[in-house]
């Protein structure tokens, strides 16, 4: 049994807490909202983010960084990507070199275009060299919390460290595969959210299955081009963290990013959509960062470009689709 600290009590952080507690670990869940801490402590349920699913008694909750990570052997970061850097500063005094760090956040830092593992490394390295893994793959939080069979990837440049996390996290309903391709696993998990917005637009416009299939296929090509330009291995993007996560997010009803696209396709304004959502749709912020990263590497990302123009209000959903369909013809 390990002592595990999870930083972030949204749907994904809570689902991981439930899963790891069922495995037998002692889990402390850090929450920003006092009402979430109270809900977990008193009623053993995250009524704000994951209502209707009981949290095991082995999960404790705290709003104190010192209390949350004190004595932890494994620390998971499961926060929205745009707050990770600022939160890391608050937790840094309480982090220790012997801890294993796992990033389960999917996104790209909008300020410096860093992957989440890079944000963690640059924050922690002035104090010590951290042992770090990243966790990603096709995994709707509610289904994981309910115990539906799920397979994901844990990646680290340190094979032994990835094997430790694989062994400690895997159970009858949660299967982990290992990888050394940190870049590929993170890029697949981040950029697929942009493509999912586009897939949602197709649904919101009432179009059929053909354009969705085309978006997933060409979206995978786009994600792969950019990820490889950043140093990823092509085969990683054909696996769980690439194609698997992309297919799930582009087609599943639990996808927040797809939901944003659906509402845009119906004609709603982005601000109205985002303000009506309690949970973060990472693709909204990741789109701008993805486009900037592609421009830095000289990579063509036509779907991302049209999603960006749509989010900025420069183009309508039907105009975005027409722009994609009328691009110059080429070989696949």
74-77 and 59-62 beta bridge pairing: unpaired
Residues 157 and 179: beta-carbon distance below 8 Å = no
DSSP for 108-141 reads B-TTT--BHHHHHHHHHTTT---EEEEEESS--H
Reference 107, options 15, 198, 186, 219; nearest CA is: 186
Other Cβ atoms less than 10 A from the Cβ of 71: the count is 11
H runs (alpha helix) in 77-208: 84-91, 116-124, 141-146, 159-169, 182-204
Q: Give the C-alpha separation, 291 to 286, whole Å.
A: 9
Q: Is 192 part of the annotated catalytic residue set? A: yes
Q: Pick the catalytic residue: 23, 106, 192, 285? A: 192
| Total residues belonging to the chain | 332
Q: Give the C-alpha separation, 271 to 15, whole Å.
A: 28
What is the CA 170 to chain-centroid distance, rounded?
19
Q: Which secondary structure element, helix H or strand E, spans residue 45, and what is its range?
A: strand 45-46
107: exposed, middle or buried (C-beta count within 10 Å: 0-12, 13-18, 19+)?
A: buried
Contacting residues for 112 by C-beta, under 8 A, at least 6 apart: none
Write out the catalytic residue numbers.
Answer: 192
């Amino acid at each position: 049994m390990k002592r595990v600290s999870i930083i972030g009590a949204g749907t994904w952080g809570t689902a991981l807490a439930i899963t790891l507690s069922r495995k037998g670990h002692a889990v402390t869940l850090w929450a920003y909202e006092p009402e979430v801490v109270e809900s977990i402590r008193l009623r053993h349920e995250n009524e704000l983010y994951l209502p209707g699913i009981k949290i095991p008694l082995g999960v404790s909750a705290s709003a104190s960084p010192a209390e949350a990570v004190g004595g932890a052997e494994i620390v998971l970061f499961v926060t929205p990507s745009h707050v990770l850097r600022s939160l890391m500063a608050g937790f840094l005094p309480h982090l220790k070199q012997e801890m294993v760090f796992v990033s389960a956040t999917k996104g790209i830092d909008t300020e410096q275009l860093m992957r989440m593992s890079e944000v963690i490394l640059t924050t922690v390295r002035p104090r010590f060299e951290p042992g770090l893994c990243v966790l990603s793959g096709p995994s709707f939080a509610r289904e994981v919390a309910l115990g539906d069979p799920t397979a994901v990837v844990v990646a680290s440049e340190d094979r032994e460290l990835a094997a430790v996390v694989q062994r400690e996290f895997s159970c009858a309903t949660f299967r982990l595969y290992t990888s050394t391709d940190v870049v590929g696993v993170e890029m697949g998990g981040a950029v697929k959210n942009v493509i999912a917005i586009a897939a949602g637009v197709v649904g919101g416009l009432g179009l059929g299955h053909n354009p969705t299939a085309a978006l997933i296929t060409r979206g995978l090509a786009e994600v792969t081009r950019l990820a490889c330009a950043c140093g990823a291995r092509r085969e990683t993007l054909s696996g769980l963290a690439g194609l698997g996560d992309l297919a799930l997010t582009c087609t599943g009803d639990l996808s927040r990013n797809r939901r944003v696209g659906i509402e845009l396709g119906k004609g709603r304004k982005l601000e109205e959509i985002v303000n009506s959502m309690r949970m973060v749709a990472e693709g909204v912020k990741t789109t701008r960062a993805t486009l900037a990263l592609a421009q830095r590497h000289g990579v063509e990302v036509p779907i991302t470009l049209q999603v960006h123009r749509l989010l900025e209000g420069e183009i309508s959903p039907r105009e975005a689709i027409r722009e994609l369909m009328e691009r110059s013809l080429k070989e696949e």
